[in-house]
Structure 1
Amino acid sequence: MSRVTARRKTLRISPAGTVRRPDTLAVEEPLEIRTGGESLAITMRTPGADIDLVHGFLFSEGIIDTVEDIVTARYCAGTDDAGQNTYNLLDIQLRTPVPVRPRNFLTNSACGLCGKTALDEVRTRLRFPLPDLPAMVDVATLSRLPAELRSRQQVFDATGGLHAAALFTADGTALVVREDVGRHNAVDKVIGWALRENRLPAHDLILMVSSRASFELVQKAAMAGIPVLGAVSAPSSLAVDLAEDSGLTLIGFLRGDSMNVYTATERIDL
């Protein structure tokens, strides 16, 4: 078994009959993030690019500002029933320690709060106001992004069970693609990569996701200074409100030659 996929028995039923056979599934395991030995957060994720994930998560939550804010990131000891290291616990040493206490993470800020409160929470933490960028990307380039993203989803090809996120340049060049069972984790992984590559604020890049556009994905894009977010499915109402509030261009139902541009349409060259 690899760290990313696992095999499980299944009964396949189809018009041709039934057959018992193994199926390939995407792995979902917890990753505990500790700082100074104290637990900060736990997320369910697909193993792989954990360092990028942690950098992206801590940045999106306003805990770190630069890659230098993390001094070390190391896996702690932990084994499964077979005695193998689980690699499911990362201890982070921060340059400036933060107190570990119950936190209202931005990712969950829309839970139990009204929309205005959630928007205000994000607005107060934004580092990189989005610049006015007329005609940043043309429709033809945007139309190619879903297929470009899909062509790089290697684990999805094997399992059918993962979300994907990618950062593209304005001419449609893919810089990084990450997959994960959680769409927010996939976005954290690409933002973490950008942080480690000194590409933030990403005012010249496009974030493309294989899922719907939720509030949390718009929040993460805005925090990273990404001006354009494209999604193959629908946005939520609060996602559109946050995109409007932060000046982000939000595109939904981006499928081939058709798309809905909900906010900041001036960045799209028609």
Structure 2
Amino acid sequence: MDFMVANPDRVAVPLSGPGGKIAVFELSKTGKLPDGVIPTLVHGTNVMDFCWDPFDYSRLAVACDDGMIRLWKIPKGGLLEPTNEAECVLSGHSEKIYFIKFHPLASNVLASGSYDMSIRIWDLATGTERITLEGHTDQFVFCWNYCLCAFNFDGIFSFAWSPCGSRCATLSKDGRLRIYEPRKSCTPIAEGKGPVGARGARVVWTLEGTHIVTTGFDKVSERQISIFKANDLKENPLNTVGLDVSPAILIPFYDEDSSTLFLTGKVSISN
């Protein structure tokens, strides 16, 4: 889960303590926060992931460990008091949810991945599940050509939509990189070797969706970055770069305009 998520109008930040509270701050209201109780979204359960709707800056989607996805509508001018009444609640997963990702090009389309080993694609206009992606046999990561999920058994490490939104990619604990085309099949259309180990991994699409970059670990816990051709996962990666030994996963962010890959994570320092 990200430390915070922002859009041009507001920023959402999870607060410590019970209840799964998320504070929402208006970027137009600068200066010192007012004294007293901070207006928050109260979920009553642990928050696993959250993200803003790229087509509606007032809508926040939140995934929780009760397997539910809650959609919140932030009123004009911002929250004035704590609330526990979501605009809509989506149910379908049987286990806690690991990630949620809005589609990059189509409004009202949201993907969610859970410890139940399924990825579900939701139509938010009707509040219904439209597609269930299957085929994972161990913990994994999911990714669409532009977007980007672990457990002691099957699970998802990462997810990402492709730039065009027609495909997605996942990485799982079984060390496999998978590509889906949901409109054609609920099972992978391509599969290859991804990062090994159970520490976690991340995936992003790059270079207009022609290549995929993964971050993860090798067998001795060295952090690695690998790049693959998206149309040929059966081949070995085009290149793999080893960085350092650290337990912290590298989180990738790709800027399409400059073709630059940014990585964030804790840095190992040795004397």
**TM-score normalised over the length of structure 1:** 0.27
Higher strand share: 2
**TM-score normalised over the length of structure 2:** 0.27
Higher helix share: 1
